[in-house]
Chains A and B, each alone.
Chain A
Amino acid sequence: NAGVTQTPKFQVLKTGQSMTLQCAQDMNHEYMSWYRQDPGMGLRLIHYSVGAGITDQGEVPNGYNVSRSTTEDFPLRLLSAAPSQTSVYFCASSYTGTSIETQYFGPGTRLLVL
């Protein structure tokens, strides 16, 4: 198994540009989520999904969109990038998202918005 994969590893955007961060898992996990990690702060949940076709907002959803058309993929879209979205983004997955399961993280995407 490849586990949780994320692309790209690094990205530089100009303010106002759009892009999609890709996340895929091959473990047949129903629960997938996106976090951002900023210096001096804990990881913060952006959006999550408990299964194909189902998504919900996390703690910091503004400026981000998600969709879940398949079990494997959970892309994160920035419609109009802002410097405040400069961060490291992590995708994570687990079987059902219930609280005692191990959560697996991807390697992260470093995003710089100029």
Chain B
Amino acid sequence: KNQVEQSPQSLIILEGKNCTLQCNYTVSPFSNLRWYKQDTGRGPVSLTIMTFSENTKSNGRYTATLDADTKQSSLHITASQLSDSASYICVVIEGTYKYIFGTGTRLKVLA
């Protein structure tokens, strides 16, 4: 069964610190991998999209990496801010239209 697993489930860090979120997947055929940010009570917002041939993609303080051989991805957040407090969701697209969502990592940034 195609699955997307994220770790940790939740994370608390101090403002200004860096953190890394993990995503492992068993999706085939793999099309691309995305990271979304979801603020409480809002819809997910796309951060990065990576295809099979891309190893890294940045969006401001967010940097995503992809290792298609080991089927792992990570999202690194640099110099965290209070506004980074949210759930971060890893999504792997199987084929063309099938989006498989992970359960997310809930990040809390403390002042």
Binding site for B on A (CB under 8 A): 4, 31, 35, 40-45, 48, 50, 90, 92, 97-100, 102-108
Contact = CB atoms under 8 A, between A and B. Distances in A.
B43 to A, nearest CB: 3
Contacts of B89: 42-43
A108 B43 contact: yes
B26 to A, nearest CB: 14
Given A105-B44, A108-B42, A42 B51 contact: no
28 contacts: A41-B103, A42-B89, A42-B100, A42-B101, A42-B102, A42-B103, A42-B104, A43-B44, A43-B101, A44-B101, A45-B98, A90-B43, A90-B44, A92-B43, A97-B97, A99-B31, A99-B96, A100-B31, A100-B51, A102-B46, A102-B49, A103-B34, A103-B46, A105-B43, A105-B44, A107-B41, A108-B41, A108-B43
B60 to A, nearest CB: 16
A100 B100 contact: no
Given A42-B4, A42-B101, A99-B96, A107 B32 contact: no
A48 B96 CA distance: 13
A44 B43 CA distance: 14
Contacts of A45: 98-99
B41 A100 contact: no
B43 A100 contact: no
A100 B96 contact: no
B95 A99 contact: yes
A102 B46 CA distance: 7
A95 to B, nearest CB: 13
B45 interface: yes
Nearest to A50: B97
Nearest to A97: B97
A88 to B, nearest CB: 9
A7 B99 CA distance: 24
